Amino acid sequence: MRPVGNGVTAAAGFLAAGVSAGIKPSGKPDLALVLSETRAAAAAVFTRNQVQAVPVVISRQRIRHGQARAVLINSGCANCLTGTPGRSDALAISRAVEQALSVRSSEVLLASTGIIGQRVPVAQIVRAIPGLVEHVDRAHHTAAAEAILTTDLQVKEVALQAQVDGRTFSVGGMAKGAGMIAPSMATMLCVVTTDAAVPAGLLRTLLVEAAAVSFNRITIDGDMSTNDSVFLLANGQSGAAIRPGQRSARVFSQALTRVMTELALLLVKDGEGATRLLHVEVIGARTTEQAQVCARQVACSPLVKTMLAGGDPNVGRIAAAVGSAPITMDPRRLDIDIGGQMVVRRGAVVPVSRTVAAQLLQADEIAVRINLHVGHGSGRMTTCDLTEDYVKINARYTT
């Protein structure tokens, strides 16, 4: 596998564009389109929040067909808690895309991000769609990736190539998300494309597996959004055939997982107010499931995250988070190390010098390893620190 450029348009036969439809008061780009030149196999995973935005509900229904041609994303308005009018708005926008592209309604997937409780400006978006369609091109991937941002500071794109049976295929993606990132799908929007030929059923299986070890292994603030959506489209234009149970499926799965994992890390690095990353690894758990529960408990702890923000190695906060997890453990066996430095051994703090302590949490990325010594299960999570800037950003998000 090797990295390549172009994000969602790295895969042959995919085009993208991003424009301003006037949804954001700032005038920044807020409407993106990803288009496959041919009908593509399609799969998706969505938020598990019981309060779901209108585009999530519509796309969940449409993805059952296992095919798609386009994904339309707007930022600046979530179209959530908008009732029947919100659904009518989304369908009107979808019809405008269908007419502009001459495709069926079931082939257009929708996603939105932004403020909850406001209706989207349908007339403005509909007016912008012809220009959006006119601009779709392989060169406009970054414009699309920019148009889906909200509080993000950075565009997030990843693409790579791999080979199966002498055929080269590409996998590329774009994502957005800086807040409301929680492990339960992660809170973000993402579109991944590939020119490999993958049956819809296999595509769905591999997407779920890749999401479990990428977007479901990150957290920024522990809050789950109403709009989470990850779309995966495969149009087969490379001629690389991916078959269940074959080596080709393993190679494709590795490529997909790598793209999604790299996008997930970009989300955490761009977390609202974030200055440091924390990689939490739990080993020696009774089961893999318990290890993951423990890692999540530590990564979601506000005290651990503020400890990270202050660069203060208060290991009691890590131990307390471990102990609060609903898992099997014996505190007398607990080991914790930070960046390779043992700070808790067999349930007791290991004294370190002030100089060593001062350096433990000063790097941009820090690894914490927790060994429970009760089994062979392992799990991991990545999070970021919780700073004053996060509070400032979210305290006035709608005003």
Name the strand (E) or helix (H) holding 86: helix 83-101
Per residue, the 3-state secondary structure of 116-169, as one string, reads CCCCCCHHHHHHHHHHHHHHCEHHHHHHHHHHCCCCCCCCEEEEEEEEECCEEE
313: tokens are 């190695």
DSSP string of 303-372? HHHHHHHHT---HHHHHHHHHHSSS---GGG-EEEETTEEEEETTEE----HHHHHHTT-SSEEEEEEE-
Query: Distance between CA 256 and CA 204 in Å, rounded?
Result: 12
Q: Which of 187, 226, 261, 383 is catalytic?
A: 187
CB 230 within 8 A of CB 56: no
Query: Distance between CA 113 and CA 177 in Å, rounded?
Result: 9
For this structure, is 47 an active site residue? no
Give strand pairing partners of 337. Answer: 342, 369
CB 34 within 8 A of CB 71: yes
Which residues carry out catalysis? 187
